[in-house]
Structure 1
């Protein structure tokens, strides 16, 4: 008999990347939840952010997210938060990704249910974004998060930016949360051997869609002081249309304009195998290579 269970992935971003004791407490509800699998969590001290990836049955995932948001609300004080990554809340973003036997429409409905539950349980105002957005202006997370925590209290007074759930008042210490539904993306950072963050910003502007670059790239520049470098940090929102290798090579080309070298790159969280296979085929010059030739793919059938 085939498995007809619905499976959804959720990649929750919290504004804490330095205190491992707090992070473990935030992640703990996912470890304990039935029908939920904790796949990965990665903390970044410079970004002061942890990305938690879980997968499971929709109702169980929703309940565990709401519980974890409650822990984050107790432990994270956004009035004291500092980091390189844009953020507007203790639990910053909660995207749902349909994985198995689940449509995007169902993921959108799950996002709405979760957003409502977060607001009712923790009194946090919530925006819906991406495929779950209530208006086209809220599809782009960057527009939703513009102003960050410090400017969000004023932003919520604008009738165009009243939250989808909750009052137009931020939670005093946990801020605002965005909940959405989307297809799988690749969170990708490219390291540059320069401390000049303006160079990273210029490269980011050149490759992102809003700057005339790739249609499926959202990018910015950040300084990683601890390592003495900068990064071009990005989300590749559709890796089937904008390949990882194409972005990497373009950043290398743009960096040469400023006498800067690319040191390497990193994937944050989990990544679809196809995104890496595509890049491997490019760099190895493989003819007619596809996912069908990957052993792990045949084992999953």
Structure 2
């Protein structure tokens, strides 16, 4: 029987202050937990941390990271391009080996309870851990963001948290905790700075608007260029090559074209299509640092021990 190995990919609403990000990551150091990746994005003002290990250790690591984020991040003065409802915005648990999605649901429920008990941050359960159909989709949970949700919970019982509340934490908001399969966080840059165009493409490719199955998309201006930021939540049903082909076709209608791509965080070997155009366009792609299986075998050292961050999208 394989040893149970679970991944967790918490997203925090801080991507501009490197010291704060490093403090959050450092707080997550727990015996038996491997640090696989941490990515900071100043435009989105968001960071994404990827850890893996034995389930109970990963749960404790994630909860400690939430606690440090609650201490350091004040949403009343935080702003960025990425939607968010919390200082620790989302905390998804992902089965890797020797564990099923249903067990990750239980981990998510336990983590949510600890987050509320220790820090007084109310919790919404989403995707596989959702207790209500209208909360399976993270976008529905985050509707209105921190500011809108803060007002909505006072007026609408249907918007109140699954744990805690009814009001949000005054500075840390709420935390969405879930269980899901692997996703591919994929950004595409265009030969244009026209944000309206990339937003139109995002709308057309997005599953919620009748686009591609399992695709979430957001159009933004990043580093002076139009960027399509996507989460591909079911790469087996909708391969990245299919997403790229659709985006290229839509871009042609707007007289633009994708010129570069990047992967944020890690990607399973199974999702890679070595001869595909989308992989040839990737910026600084390295198997040793971007392939999940390689990083599991050679994890990063924790902050203060010589490792550095990347920059990119935080859109999980």
**TM-score, length of structure 2 as denominator length:** 0.85
Deviation of residue 135 (structure 1)?
A: 0.5
SS of residue matched to 2:147: helix
* Deviating more after overlay: 161-170 vs 19-28: 161-170
Cα distance in 1, alignment partners of residues 132 and 141 from structure 2: 11
Cα distance in 1, alignment partners of residues 166 and 37 from structure 2: 34
Report the equivalent of 1:280: 274
Report the equivalent of 1:82: 79
Deviation of residue 197 (structure 1)?
A: 1.3
Report the equivalent of 2:216: 218
Report the equivalent of 1:240: 236
Which residue of 181, 188, 193 corresponds with 1:195? 193
Which residue of 3, 6, 12 corresponds with 2:4? 6
Deviation of residue 140 (structure 1)?
A: 0.2
SS of residue matched to 2:182: coil
Structure 2 gaps of 5+ residues are: 279-292, 298-316
**4+ runs deviating over 6 angstroms:** none
Which residue of 116, 119, 122 corresponds with 1:119? 116
RMSD of equivalent CA atoms: 1.6
SS of residue matched to 2:274: helix
Report the equivalent of 2:104: 107
Structure 1 gaps of 5+ residues are: 285-295
Cα shift readout 1:79-103 (whole Å, capped 9, x = no counterpart)? 1111111111100000000111111
* Deviating more after overlay: 192-201 vs 265-274: 192-201
Alignment of 1:16-27 (within 5 A): 16-27=14-25
Report the equivalent of 2:300: none
Alignment of 1:36-75 (within 5 A): 36-75=33-72
Report the equivalent of 1:231: 227
Match status 1:166 vs 2:160: no
What is the number of equivalent residue pairs in this alignment?
280
Match status 1:264 vs 2:264: no
Cα shift readout 1:20-42 (whole Å, capped 9, x = no counterpart)? 11011000023x31010010000
Deviation of residue 281 (structure 1)?
A: 4.3
Deviation of residue 136 (structure 1)?
A: 0.7
Higher relative contact order (CA 8 A, sep 6+): 2
Check the 8 A contact 2:149/2:159 in 1, yes or no: no
Report the equivalent of 1:132: 129
* Deviating more after overlay: 249-258 vs 13-22: 249-258
Cα shift readout 1:189-237 (whole Å, capped 9, x = no counterpart)? 111222221111110111111222111111121111xx21111111101
SS of residue matched to 1:175: coil
**TM-score, length of structure 1 as denominator length:** 0.90
Match status 1:93 vs 2:128: no
Report the equivalent of 2:313: none
Match status 1:185 vs 2:179: no
Cα distance in 1, alignment partners of residues 85 and 194 from structure 2: 26
Cα distance in 2, alignment partners of residues 71 and 245 from structure 1: 38
Deviation of residue 261 (structure 1)?
A: 2.1
Cα distance in 1, alignment partners of residues 178 and 189 from structure 2: 29
